[in-house]
Chains A and B, each alone.
Chain A
Amino acid sequence: MSNRSVAVLKANITRNLRIDWKYKLNFITDLAWLAVDVITFLFLGQVVASSGIENFLYGETLKEFLVVGVIYWVIFTRAYKDGVSVIPNEAALGALGFIITNEVSLSDLITGQFSSSTIKTSITLIVFVLPIIGFLSFTNILQPLKITPITILLTLVIFIISWVFMLGITIIASTLNVIFKKSGPLTFLLSYLLTMLSGYFFPLEVLRDFGLGAIEYLLYFIPTTGMLYSLRSMLIFGDSRPLGEYYYDFGLILATIIIDGIIAIIVLFLALYVMRRITRKAAYSGTLEFY
């Protein structure tokens, strides 16, 4: 990364955080949205757990399964949404001409926005949400998560890999904005699809019960799926899970981290390349300025 890119990134993060600070109502709205998600899934988990369904995969830990999913995705959905809005927002400000003629990379702008959104959501999670989760665990409403030095370290690695992958996806989705203009619904679909395929709403292991085990294994090659699965397994069951055919251990998690990490990096580099090509092509077609 060049010094120029670092300066652009820093300038964007600073500006975006300044703007966010001046729109405090948006911050409160985001927090309320997250609270509604957590409460809804807590209820859903409780209802399923107390319904007495036998042999259900996550059994009495469904609440934890869902809450970990919410916390994982809240960071990336907000960053993705803000990231794909960068080009339309800059176009609305009439800044694209300035950006292009000053050799500022659109990928750097998107990365800046993605980073500031991640910072904002992470602060929200750390300051407001995690203490509440801790309180719920203390009062036995939630089963305590398996927090050890190794799970904390792996959690960080998991978030970094997911962040890299989602940044790549955000940049690729933004190229759709350059090509198709009003591509909001398409970019929303892409993000929703990734959320669904990550097993946000249900454990992917149930696919085996429908004879779709091969698809389940393929889905783990999507970094957000593999990483969320690893995160949930680790935080809910600890270093290994004695569940017969669903057995896993840290070895399996590490293998998933390495493979999905490589995939995430490839996706990011591919995204940067595609964005550079599309931006250059847009200078011929005029599509950026015609926004």
Chain B
Amino acid sequence: MSNVGDREVIVKDVHKYFGKKHVLKGISFHLPDEENLAIIGPNGSGKTTLLRTLASIYLPDKGSIQIGRYDLVTQTREARSLLSYVSPNLSFHKKLTLRETLDYFSSLQGVSWHDQDDLMDKVDLSKMLDSPIEGFSEGQKAMTRFVIALMKKPKILVLDEITATLDVKKKESVIQYIYDLDKKRGLTILLIDHDPSVVDRLCEKLLLMTRDGKVMDYGDTHEIIKQIPYAFDIKVVPNPSIDVNKFVQELGFPYRTMGQLVQLYAETKDEVDEITSELLRRKWKGKEGQEILEFNVSALSMEDIYWHYLLLLNIPIEDRTKGESVGKFS
């Protein structure tokens, strides 16, 4: 135990039950000092439960979690002193000003918030100190949560989708700040995030979970992501009257079907342009011949990477999933 670093996380055969529901089934991994981990998996795989268990909001029913030198169950207080948990659900009293809010949360942690002036300047919160929270955008609230989490200078940072509500500029500021902080202080970061660019930049390790709460794979993030050639996905809702299989084969791009929804994958922006031109043509063929109802383009999410990775591992997706997630790749 004495050789374990302050920022090391060792998880051995962790099980978590909620009533009769067995949510986590024997999770094990070892995250070395100062390495960062992203947890990915489909909805209902238990990734949020695992993150919250690592943050000590839940305690494991079986197995052990070591945070630094401390056992999470028997030395909970000491383990908690090392970590900070940032949840997207944390909201604030709307009538209080930012200053009053920071005063309160810093007092709860027994620290000062004035050390965070640099971050506050970077994310434009300094000028909002005397403004009531009720006037804040979702992005500003997300930044406030982040400032609060960093007040106690944690060694381990547990981030639950913190960039979800941020615009591109703020997301970049936050990620760069965490990245610099990580390099400067040598943090260990445990996170869930849907954005592959966030995961790829911050996390060396990736933990992939199965739908039934087990570890499917644990490996190097960059190695896993670089195996997925796609950068964009185009979600398409076809006209129910058409033959979906024929439709996707005619398009000739990699795809996945989920019930009536079709997801097409593109490697470059040129490919996205090509696909969207074709989709627009088919959408406006006229009322009788309209093949698709709607579509939208987005960057590839961690869920997409997860599904592609299953394919690379030759894991039969239909066996791993149920209901809405059943799909197949071209």
Chain B residues closer than 8 Å to A10, beta-carbon distance: 107
Chain A residues closer than 8 Å to B222, beta-carbon distance: none
Judge whether A15 and B96 touch: CB under 8 Å.
yes
Write out, one digit per residue, whether chain B residues 43-55 have a CB within 8 A of any chain A CB (1) or not (0): 0000000001001
In angstroms, Cα B218 to Cα A1, docked, is 45
CB A223 to nearest CB in B, in angstroms, measures: 31
Selected from A19, A280, A290, the residue in CB contact (under 8 A) with B96 is A19
Judge whether A18 and B100 touch: CB under 8 Å.
yes
CB interface residues, A 29-47, toward B, < 8 Å: none
CB A278 to nearest CB in B, in angstroms, measures: 14
B91 within 8 A of partner (CB): yes
Write out, one digit per residue, whether chain A residues 234-277 have a CB within 8 A of any chain B CB (1) or not (0): 00000000000000000000000000000000000000000000
Chain A residues closer than 8 Å to B104, beta-carbon distance: 11-12, 14-15
Chain A residues closer than 8 Å to B158, beta-carbon distance: 101
Contacts A19-B96, A286-B58 given; does A94 touch B87 at CB 8 Å:
yes
Selected from A12, A96, A101, the residue in CB contact (under 8 A) with B83 is A101
B85 within 8 A of partner (CB): yes
Write out, one digit per residue, whether chain B residues 289-301 have a CB within 8 A of any chain A CB (1) or not (0): 0000000000000
CB interface residues, A 91-109, toward B, < 8 Å: 93-104
Chain A residues closer than 8 Å to B76, beta-carbon distance: 103
Find the A residue at minimum CB distance from B151.
A102
How many B residues face the partner with a CB closer than 8 A? 34
**A-B contacts at CB below 8 angstroms, number:** 85
Chain A residues closer than 8 Å to B57, beta-carbon distance: 96-97, 100-101, 283, 288-289
In angstroms, Cα B55 to Cα A211, docked, is 59
Selected from A8, A15, A103, the residue in CB contact (under 8 A) with B80 is A103
CB A277 to nearest CB in B, in angstroms, measures: 13
B253 within 8 A of partner (CB): no
How many A residues face the partner with a CB closer than 8 A? 32
CB A4 to nearest CB in B, in angstroms, measures: 6
B89 within 8 A of partner (CB): yes
Chain B residues closer than 8 Å to A97, beta-carbon distance: 52, 55, 57, 85, 87, 89-90
Judge whether B77 and A103 touch: CB under 8 Å.
yes
Judge whether A93 and B91 touch: CB under 8 Å.
yes
Write out, one digit per residue, whether chain B residues 27-70 have a CB within 8 A of any chain A CB (1) or not (0): 00000000000000000000000001001111101000000000
A190 within 8 A of partner (CB): no
Judge whether A23 and B95 touch: CB under 8 Å.
yes
Name, among A99, A103, A288, A290, the residue most crowded by chain B CB atoms within 10 Å (CB to CB).
Answer: A103
Contacts A8-B107, A103-B77 given; does A93 touch B92 at CB 8 Å:
yes
Judge whether B81 and A284 touch: CB under 8 Å.
no
Judge whether A101 and B84 touch: CB under 8 Å.
yes
Contacts A8-B108, A97-B85, A101-B84 given; does A19 touch B56 at CB 8 Å:
no
Judge whether A11 and B108 touch: CB under 8 Å.
yes
Contacts A93-B90, A97-B52, A289-B57 given; does A102 touch B107 at CB 8 Å:
no
Chain B residues closer than 8 Å to A22, beta-carbon distance: 95-96
Name, among B18, B103, B107, the residue most crowded by chain A CB atoms within 10 Å (CB to CB).
Answer: B107
Find the A residue at minimum CB distance from B81.
A103
A285 within 8 A of partner (CB): yes
In angstroms, Cα B245 to Cα A202, docked, is 81
Judge whether A99 and B108 touch: CB under 8 Å.
yes
Chain B residues closer than 8 Å to A285, beta-carbon distance: 18
CB interface residues, B 239-279, toward A, < 8 Å: none
A160 within 8 A of partner (CB): no
In angstroms, Cα B95 to Cα A289, docked, is 25
Chain B residues closer than 8 Å to A102, beta-carbon distance: 80, 108-109, 152
Judge whether B18 and A93 touch: CB under 8 Å.
no
Can you spell out 6 A-B residue pairs with CB atoms less than 8 angstroms apart?
A19-B93, A93-B90, A93-B91, A98-B85, A102-B152, A283-B58
Excluding A15-B100, A101-B84, A283-B58, 9 further A-B contacts by CB distance (< 8 Å) are A14-B103, A19-B96, A101-B80, A101-B158, A103-B80, A280-B59, A283-B57, A284-B58, A289-B58
| Chain B residues within CB distance 8 Å of chain A | 18, 52, 55-59, 61, 76-77, 80-81, 83-85, 87, 89-93, 95-96, 100, 103-105, 107-110, 148, 152, 158
